Amino acid sequence: MTASKSKGGIASWYGRLVAFNIESLFSRKREPGPPRTIFVNEKLPEDYRDPKGRVKPEYVYTANQVITSKYNVITFVPRNLLEQFRRVANIFFLGIAILQFFPKFSTISPGVAILPLIIIIAITAAKDGYEDFKRHQADKKVNYSVTRVLSGGNWANDNAMKSKAKTFIRGIMPKARSPEHKLSVGAKGRNSDGSGSERTAEHSLDSSPTESSIEYDDEEGAGSPGYGQSRPHWKRTLWEDIRVGDFVKIMDNEALPADILICATSEDEDVAFVETKNLDGETNLKSRNGVSALSELRTASACADPRHMFRVKCDRPDTDMYRLNANVTFDGKTAPVDLSMVLLRGTVLRNTRWVVGVVLFTGEDTKIVMNSGGTPSKTSRVERQMNPQVFINLLILGAMAVVCAIADSMLELRYFPLSAPWLYDDNRSDDNPRINGLITWAFALLTFQDIVPISLYISIEFVRTCQAAFIYFDADIWYEKTNQPTIARSWNLSDDLGQIEYIFSDKTGTLTQNSMVFRQCSIGGRAYGGDAEDEIDADDIKPPSLIAEKDTHPIQIDVWSANARAGSSTVQIDASRKVNDKDDRPRFHDPTLQRDIAAVLSPDAKPDPEGATFARNLNGFFTVLALCHTVLTGVDPQTGKITYKAQSPDEAALVQAAADVGYEFLGKDREVLSLRTPGSPDIEKYELLNILEFTSARKRMSVVLRKLDDEDNRLFLLTKGADNVIFERLKEGDDALKQETEHHLSQFANNGLRTLTLAYKVISEDQYVSWSGRYHEATVAMQDREERVESVSDEIEQELRLLGATAIEDKLQDGVPETIADLKRAGIKIWVATGDKLETAIAIGRSTNLINQDSNIIIVRGRTHRPVQQQMLASIKQFFPESDIAAERTPRQSTSTRADRSIPLQRVDTGVSSIVGAGNGDRPGGYVLVVDGFALLEAFADDDNKNILLRLAMLCEGVICCRVSPLQKALIVRLVKDGLGAMTLAIGDGANDVSMIQAADVGVGISGEEGLQAVNSSDYAIAQFRFLKKLILVHGHWSYARNGTMILNFFYKNIVPTGVLWWFQIYDAWSANYVFDYTYILFWNSLWTIAPVIGIGLFDRILDSHILMELPELYRYGREGRWFGTRSFLVYMFDGVVQSAVIFFLILYAYITPTTRKDGYDVRLQEFSTTMAISAVMVANIFAGFSATAWNGWVFFAVLIGILIVWLYTAIYSAIPPSYSVTFLYGNDPILFTSAHFWFGTILTFLVALLPRYIAKAWKFGFAPDDIDMIRYKYKQEPWTDFSQYGRSAEGSGLAALHRGAAASASLSSLASVPRRSHDIRSDSAATLPRFGRQSVDVRAASRTDMSTGLVSVHRGFDFATEEGGVAMRRIQTNLSERRDVHLREGGSLRRKGKETLSHVFSLKRIKRKVSSPKKNE
């Protein structure tokens, strides 16, 4: 029992030592401050100051300086030393060096003894300092970005701020430039993370600071410099100098430098639009509005006016990205403030000319920074594994020293009474048989210290530095478009890249390009695929209009009033021109569609019923695309062309696609929409009556329109939404069209495209008047407004007519599907963590190959009637009954019978039908788990839920986490990293990915459109996601194999001389003396044996790069830790012990002879010990060569150079006469090199020592080869072989083929352990489908089970991104509601006289030809 407790105590102590977190000692993170009150245009209250007049600490706010680096001037030395002395070996070497400062134990000068340790620490510190210096430079790019801050006019900000931190750049580099010059150099309007893709604000270096950094709201006084300083103005200021309470002015396309309260904007009703993809990964714009009480603060003069004093009360800073509670007190009145009135740091202003606001939170108090962690101190897994191995060697060293001490003391106690001559005068206090045992123990530590190689660490650092250079200079992962290489920002993690088990990836900007492309559509049962090329010359795209003459008169267009810019809400444009024909947006062009439109427009078209129906569907389809949306129209100031600006990128793609085929949306004048169609010379007008907006619950959007300038003023309901929602609301009949559209939807979804289904209906006047009244009542109801509006909306959205479906590609980064497929083949599990909604996440999972065509999707949602734990347990019980995870859970005492009760999966009626049929959940494609952020909140609430989530995720092939916050991304990584002890890699490109990147073992940042914040916090920086494949499969695998083999050989080569010294103690009275000349020990790690191990670390190559790329399955050798581990360590140590015994005893007994010399003298110690030294060097170097797998020229040189040097050294050193320097080997050359014992002993020990390893390698290669052995042999025999075939063939047949030496035609059996399916190899996610000849598609494929409802359905790719309930939509609805009220109050009626017929709905007007005969002239 005592032993068990002792063992547990030691393990606990070691665990605490290993888990010691250095960054916690130096973390800049602090507890958020108390709730704050920001005073604007007024002095701070007296109670904010202490008796000395200083502002109290709790009211002093953090600076806006953001630092992602690890060190500063003060913390560099202590933190770096603590990081380096986490290595057990460094502590040991420090102790050995200190020991040699005592004269009794000094073997060499104490300064020389500690010099190697100092050099190692200094070089490592220099490397760490350089890495961190680059981080400081990246931080400088962000902190030196520029924005406009209110200044002048006696305006002052009394809110107190902390001083900025000193960094390396400020603390070490001289201040050679003035602040004005720095402002000029750094005055680029970058993103919050430093990217320069946004609006710039550059200044001339030689311009006056006053002239270059000041802007006025008007031209008054611009030419009077003396007067300018006293007027209120906007001064260009560095981000890091922004203070809480400052007024700032942000321009269109500029990034937000802090969390800012909106006062006023350039748009009507102070609406602003922001892009938040850097925070939540969503590409659709979000609308924000200003505080109505502060709407007068539109100019610098108004902001600086002392009469406009107010205060803002805010909650304490927190990490919740979706909540903010505050209020504004202005002129004695208090108004509420929420997140819809605040612009967060990390977002970018879009479609808004300018915004004036007040800074609420800065620097570390901003939400985006609070969601990111401090810069961690990462060590590789190999290095962590080395620590216990070094500890084992230290235990062996300690045991050897103790044995020598005890044996020496016992021998002295035995022979001292016998007056042994070597113990003469050993009766003093510091020299007697008893105390000499301790002295021998200390000497033994010095004698056998090489068992722990001090040169190992410096060699590892050198090799990793070279490996980082190899990555940098690899042209295959160098992005030529931006001339950007792949950069290793942390040089000590290269071998971790070869052991990755889990990859956590962001979506937006990492997997996708933030671009939506209209790819395919289904119209009236016919599928159109468009051109495969993304970029088509605009001149080649001509709407299929056969109109001879167009009305070229300009029209007045009022763009959407929700986003109309001040002074330009009404613009005059040439309506006859193509819409934005110089836009870079990919165009939709399909020759077949062009011919079909031309055919139905042709006057020669036969008026058959089928053709008329298709014509209505064709016209209706693109009319819905062109009119059912909330897209904004604008005018390009350079070209004068119409441009489309949308909150939703999906809507922008849909409207642009309609324009590409001739249905051009021209804008809106009040509530009248203008549309040009290819079938009419006139511009069609539609009156917008109602918008039934899109929500996640409705999954559809509808508009009610009245067609103007028509004989019957027909009313239309145009609808787009999810296939299952639309299909349930269709009119009975036309089953063939429905079936064909479903078939096309399935094919679209299988190609990873986002689908929408389009429908319409014609509404009678009586029906609309009745419904409109009920809808108006619902919109003004005081109770249950949302439910009543939804109920009334659902009434009108029935009996729809199906038009078709669209397929949009969320355009992926180049090579993403292939990269993910190959990483899955490598056995790496991939998790996607995104802030996007569930449908978007699933669509991306399909297009990226994360979700296969036959995968089963398990959905776990939070905030439903069913607890998340029950959903997870039900998933396990239903889909993984063999796991018995639910039964293994220990029941609580209060619910002891709960474990025996099953949790039934009940179907809940949600109004959506299931069309899966029998066999659901048994698809061959495995399972993919989809979890939303609310479910994760419950799952992370306690350890029990976390354990269930982790075990459920392990049973699935992939996991997608949607609607997650930045902090949740980090928690997901830690769940796997800590829960499984797995090697994790996180990759992202935005500020919302920083915490995830820092939490993973290896963080990879993509320098994309979202900026450089992720890159600044990463360990590796790449330009494209596809580069991750070679980085991991080649460079990572190579580095791990090289470093693991190098370290094992380091331990081995140092046990060889240590073993020889140990065996010598048997014959040396355990006195801890050296058998070799000391110089052979001194240069063992620096000259004799250093080259082979470094050669392995740099130039060894398990397989060529193209083979590792073609066969990702080989990565399992790294993933499973085959190249380094305790077992391999013990094998190499055993080899070293055996070889040391062979070397020592064979040579020793060979030299036990009266003489080996011609002169007859006895054998000297230096004679046979030199033979041992040379033999040991040869054996150690050749053994290292045996460990290499690629004997190229460099490895040959590295293996042989040490042997050559030791022979030359022996010959030269033994010839140095005593008159020059006293050596113990002088005169050894003629004796040694003329002795048969020397030559015979050297050759014999060399062969006998290496024979066991040689036989073992030969047997393994001949009788038990692994995949790498077989492929290496195959490549040697047939270097032209295409090895990619081994990863795609049938399981089990490839190994037999290689064993027979036949031409490879199948896969290796072990490679098939991660089988690659044929559908995993996709040509391109954007590839167009064929003309959709009818194929046998199982509608049950790719089932989707929502565990919160029990609903099972087929996923057909529905996805639509837009802001729900945003400020802009609320304003549109308010305008429509006010218009109805005014119309009714004025005594008007909603009814208009007209026909109620369906016979000509959406019919295309045929072209009327002009001929000479007036009779035929129509």
Coil, helix or strand for 485?
Answer: coil
- List the end-to-end C-alpha distance of the chain, in Å, as a whole number: 109
Coil, helix or strand for 356?
Answer: strand
Q: Which residues contact 1299 (CB under 8 A, 6 or more apart)?
A: 1270
Residue 484, token pair as written in the block:
């950007």
Residue 643, token pair as written in the block:
């441009």
Kindly calculate the radius of gyration of the chain based on its CA atoms and give it in whole angstroms: 39
How would you class 424 by CB atoms within 10 Å of its CB: exposed for 0-12, middle for 13-18, buried for 19 or more?
A: exposed
Give residue 420's region: left, alpha or beta (phi > 0; psi -120 to 50).
beta
Alpha-carbon distances, residue 775 vs 699, 715, 1392 (angstroms): 19, 16, 19
Catalytic residues: 506
Q: At 246, which helix (H) or strand (E)? A: none
Q: Tell me how many helices (H) and strands (E) the chain has.
A: 45, 40
Whether 701 contacts 769, CB under 8 Å: no
Alpha-carbon distances, residue 1200 vs 460, 1067, 1196, 1252 (angstroms): 21, 33, 6, 21
Whether 1362 contacts 756, CB under 8 Å: no
Which neighbouring-strand residues pair with 996? none
Half-sphere exposure at residue 707, Cβ-oriented, CA atoms within 13 angstroms: 24
Whether 575 contacts 641, CB under 8 Å: no
Nearest-CA neighbor of 1112 among 469, 503, 484, 489? 503
Coil, helix or strand for 471?
Answer: helix
Q: Which residues contact 377 (CB under 8 A, 6 or more apart)?
A: 22, 23, 70, 79, 83
The pairing of strands 856-860 and 1343-1346 is: parallel
Residue 1324, token pair as written in the block:
């391109």
Whether 742 contacts 913, CB under 8 Å: no
CB atoms within 10 A of CB 657: 25
How would you class 1251 by CB atoms within 10 Å of its CB: exposed for 0-12, middle for 13-18, buried for 19 or more?
A: exposed
Whether 557 contacts 667, CB under 8 Å: yes
Whether 281 contacts 992, CB under 8 Å: yes
Which neighbouring-strand residues pair with 860? 931
Q: At 289, which helix (H) or strand (E)? A: strand 285-289
SS3 content of the chain, % helix, strand, coil (to 5): 45, 15, 40
Instruction: Report H helices in 921-1075.
Output: 933-939, 943-954, 966-980, 994-999, 1013-1016, 1027-1030, 1037-1065
CB atoms within 10 A of CB 1313: 13
Q: How far apart are CA 1318 and CA 432, in angstroms?
A: 80
Whether 520 contacts 529, CB under 8 Å: yes
For tokens 């990081």, name the residue.
83
Alpha-carbon distances, residue 1099 vs 209, 381, 1032, 1195 (angstroms): 55, 22, 18, 7
